[in-house]
Amino acid sequence: MLDSIIPGSEITLSVFLICTGASLLLGLGIAWLCMYKSSYTQSFVITLAMLPAVVQAIIMLVNGNIGTGVAVAGAFGLVRFRSAPGTAKEIGMIFLCMTIGLATGMGYVLLAGLFFVVMALFVLALSRLRFGGGDMNQRELKITIPENLDYDGLFDDLFQRYTRSARLDRVRTSSMGTLYELEYRVVLKDAEAPKAFLDELRCRNGNLNIICGRTASREAL
């Protein structure tokens, strides 16, 4: 059932069309999977949709020689992605596209379809369960204070009242050394930062800048 549909080393027109159609359909599925709850660019998702068919054609042209085919496809990949490392999800989708292309290029169309379904269900399940997403109440808190204030323990009582945990990640100076910028990683007790919390912070820092937002490093799957 999962055997190759390519009879021997000869590739007929019908087999080529079936493999190409399967590659394009699965490429569209991978592109949709990449777009699901993620930011993306049109050029990238179009490239993802095409990539399985491109890899499949390469494998067919080298008569199923996996080593040669992977080397050529890898060279093409370096040309496209050499200056854009991309996110972990994007890199994973590129590898998924290449795997699907290798399978269809060898004639294992049903196997490629089954593998895509399994991987898609796996990714969607992890996304649904927020696997690895961390605490939803975690925030990055940036507070600017004048240089004459001792920041050590300055906000500890407020953190005890409004957060479950707070950690000072970085301190840097700005405005020719007249200001300190404190960057904290906090986990709020409530989903949103209470206005009273921000107001009390402003009273402590002389009404200078305060920024509280979600951690930028977390990428939705």
Q: What is the H or E stretch that residue 210 is in?
A: strand 210-214
Reported as a single tens digit per residue, the pLDDT across 69-102 is 566 666 555 555 544 556 778 888 888 998 999 8
Domain boundary at 128, 154, 172, which? Answer: 128
User: Based on the domain organization, do 121 and 19 belong to the same domain?
Assistant: yes
The two tokens of residue 82 are 């050499």
Residue 6 falls within a domain, yes or no? no
Contact (CB, 8 A) for 98 and 78? no
Question: How many domains is the chain built from?
Answer: 2
Q: What pLDDT score was predicted for residue 192?
A: 67
* 57: pLDDT strictly greater than 70: yes
User: Based on the domain organization, do 45 and 102 belong to the same domain?
Assistant: yes
Q: What pLDDT score was predicted for residue 82?
A: 45
Residue 41 falls within a domain, yes or no? yes
User: Based on the domain organization, do 29 and 53 belong to the same domain?
Assistant: yes
Query: Where does the pLDDT of residue 66 fall: very low under 50, low under 70, confident under 90, or very high at 90 and above?
Result: low
User: Based on the domain organization, do 118 and 175 belong to the same domain?
Assistant: no
- Tell me which of 217 and 49 has the higher pLDDT: 49
How many other CB atoms are there within 10 angstroms of residue 101's CB atom? Answer: 27
**Sheet order of strands, 210-214 included:** 163-174, 179-188, 138-146, 210-214
User: Based on the domain organization, do 40 and 108 belong to the same domain?
Assistant: yes
- pTM as predicted: 0.65
Strands 138-146, 163-174: pairing kind: unpaired
What are 146's strand-pairing partners? 179
- Residue 174, helix vs strand vs coil: strand
User: Based on the domain organization, do 177 and 152 belong to the same domain?
Assistant: yes
From the list 83, 79, 94, 88, the residue with the least C-alpha distance to 44 is 94
Q: Which residue has the tokens 């407020």?
A: 158
Domain boundary at 128, 162, 183, which? Answer: 128
Contacts of 190 (CB under 8 A, 6+ apart): 137, 162
Domain boundary at 106, 128, 150, which? Answer: 128
How many other CB atoms are there within 10 angstroms of residue 51's CB atom? Answer: 25
User: Based on the domain organization, do 107 and 181 belong to the same domain?
Assistant: no
User: Based on the domain organization, do 143 and 110 belong to the same domain?
Assistant: no
Residue 180 falls within a domain, yes or no? yes
Domain span at residue 186?
138-214
Reported as a single tens digit per residue, the pLDDT across 145-157 is 998 888 888 899 9
- Residue 184, helix vs strand vs coil: strand
Query: Where does the pLDDT of residue 24 fall: very low under 50, low under 70, confident under 90, or very high at 90 and above?
Result: very high
From the list 33, 60, 58, 59, the residue with the least C-alpha distance to 45 is 33
